[in-house]
Amino acid sequence: MTEATQSQKAYNLNVTPLTEADTTPTSAGGKKTKFRGTFVQGGKTVERTVVAQGKAADLIDGMITPGTAVALRCIYSRAPGEEGKKGGEFLTVVALPLPPKQKAA
C-alpha cells in the first residue's frame, strides 16, 4: 500500500453494477476485476468504473451481477491524465463493509 493510498478515506457504498465483471490477470500474477457501476453521491446517482485487485478481487469474486446492488468499501482514485492534467475518477475496492457493532444490553 502506498503512502497516498494510506491517507485516503474509505467509504461504504452501495454500488449497482451496470456491466458484468471483467476479471484479468495482473502482471504480478494476481487478479484484477473491473466493472461499471452506479451509486448515490451527494444525493445524485453517478456512474463510475470500479476496480478491485488482489485480495479485494478475490473477495468480490462471484458477487457482481448487473442490476443487483452490492455493499463495498471503496476509496476514490484518479486515472492519470494527459500532460499532467487530472484524469477520470474511479473507485478502488479495499474491503467489504463491516457489520454495525452490537450495543451492550
pLDDT of residue 100 exceeding 90, the answer is no
101 within domain boundaries: no
Q: Tell me how far apart the alpha carbons of residues 71 and 39 are, in angstroms, rounded to a whole number.
A: 10
pLDDT tens for residues 37-81? 999 999 999 999 999 999 999 999 889 999 999 999 999 998 887
Count the domains in the chain. 1
Phi, then psi, of 39 in degrees rounded to 5: -155, 170
1 within domain boundaries: no
Q: Tell me how far apart the alpha carbons of residues 9 and 88 are, in angstroms, rounded to a whole number.
A: 18
45 within domain boundaries: yes
Q: Which domain holds residue 55?
A: 7-95
CA distances in angstroms from 19 to 6, 7, 23, 62, 100, listed in the order given = 29, 30, 12, 13, 29
Between CA 49 and CA 84, with CA 47 as vertex, the angle to 5 degrees is 60
